[in-house]
Amino acid sequence: MPDTRRLQRELKEAASATAADGSAIKLELVGTDLTHMKGEIAGPAGTPYEGGRFVLDIKIPDTYPFAPPIIKFETSVYHPNVSSQTGAICLDILRNEWTPVLGIAKALLSVQQLLESPEPDDPQDAVVAAHYKRDRRDFERTAAAWTQFYAKTGDAATDVDFDKLGVDARAVQRLVEMGFDKAAVVRALRQAQGNEDAAVETLLSSME
């Protein structure tokens, strides 16, 4: 079992942890289980992720702190080092460079820094990394569209270029008019590679 006293201390310390730009991170339990947490980081200023709030799922293994926490993005993000399908993260300190002195808050701050400094030569998502290398400007427009749709709320999330999300705006509208949630529709259409019937099946199965 992980060190519960350390985890409780880390939760308290995370409340005062800040990034280099002064933005705070958030860390809270899922229910009462100390081995399952949610984290939240802000998209760094001057990047396509600026203005977004990104939620991360955090699982604490039994061997923590000698093994790293298992962290993945819950909020969809377009980034070479993050799987656009699963949210898995390719980051050294979450793998072979982890040491027990780091902690969860430091891991979250490192993930935030990764948003600012992608490593396309060590990708988690090869397609996104290739896009980054091939056309940096178009990559940034796509990443900004994903941020606007998935990581922002209110009016900021309404005017979205669906082509940059990899889906047909008309298909999105048709499925939303059927009563499905817009974000779920986009995810289902991407998973189904634009096939509306398959997307509907996915959406219906998720409601069962």
Cis peptide bond N-terminal to 65, omega within 30: yes
Residue of 7, 90, 143, 167 marked active site = 90
C-alpha to C-alpha distance for 206 and 122, rounded to whole angstroms: 33
Return the closest-CA partner of residue 35 out of 54, 7, 13, 16: 7
To the query of whether residue 162 is one of the catalytic residues in this protein, the response is no
Identity of the amino acid at 50: E
3-state helix, strand, coil in the chain (%, to 5): 45, 15, 40
Task: Look up residue 118 and give its two tokens.
Answer: 């992608």
The residues with which 45 forms a beta bridge, in sequence order, are none
Identity of the amino acid at 181: D
The DSSP code for 23 is P
Instruction: List the Cα angle 137/138/143 in 5-degree steps.
Output: 100
Q: Is 200 helix (H, G, I), strand (E, B) or coil?
A: helix
Residues known to be catalytic = 90
